[in-house]
Amino acid sequence: MATTPRLPQSWYMVLALTFVAGVVLLCWQPNVPSWVQRLSDKVKPNAWSVLFGIYLVSITVTNFVLFYIMAWLQRLFALHTSESIPDIWSSTFVGLCESVMYPTALLVGKSEFIAFWLAIKVAAGWLRWTGIDTNRSKQGGKLTDLNEARRHFNRFLVGNALSIMAAVVTYGFLKIWTLT
């Protein structure tokens, strides 16, 4: 079984800087330009820096925690993988986008977007999870292959459930501290 590759140190520096920027916005709450305040009347006029700070802290914590939970699940579920650094980066960036998109969908009252996004992700991974050998375009058929395909799908489900839970928590913080 291959181990999950680690992301480069530069990524951890980006996460650390993002976290620090979020904490600075939360603690000092600097004024934002007036054009930002006109973006939505749902956000308290003096809460925009708090909103951005919550997003930045949430993005950092969610990305860091989910990356390591998914690596742990890969070992726990005994998943064989040939994920390379580019494969890990693509998943990382999708997760990064989700940590912004999901709370924003909840914030603007369009939670159905989350279901739409998940449907796209399921459709994209369907062949892998059914145990079909995509290199030979035939059913693998071996029970061990089918079981591993199911474990991959279960890992996917757990990761998405955790991502949605993180979005709900982020939305809760946004609702409490920034919305009118």
Q: What is the pLDDT along the chain (180 residues), one digit of tens a residue?
A: 455 567 788 889 999 999 999 999 999 999 998 899 888 889 998 999 999 999 999 999 999 999 889 989 989 998 877 667 777 788 889 999 999 999 999 999 999 999 999 999 999 888 777 766 555 444 555 777 788 888 889 999 999 999 999 999 999 999 999 998
Please answer whether residues 179 and 43 qualify as being in contact, where contact means their C-beta atoms are separated by less than 8 angstroms: yes
Model confidence, pTM = 0.86
Q: Cβ distance 77 to 17 under 8 Å?
A: no
| Contacts for 121 with CB less than 8 Å, ≥ 6 apart | 156, 160
Q: Where are the alpha helices (DSSP H) in the chain?
A: 9-28, 34-37, 48-76, 85-107, 112-130, 143-178
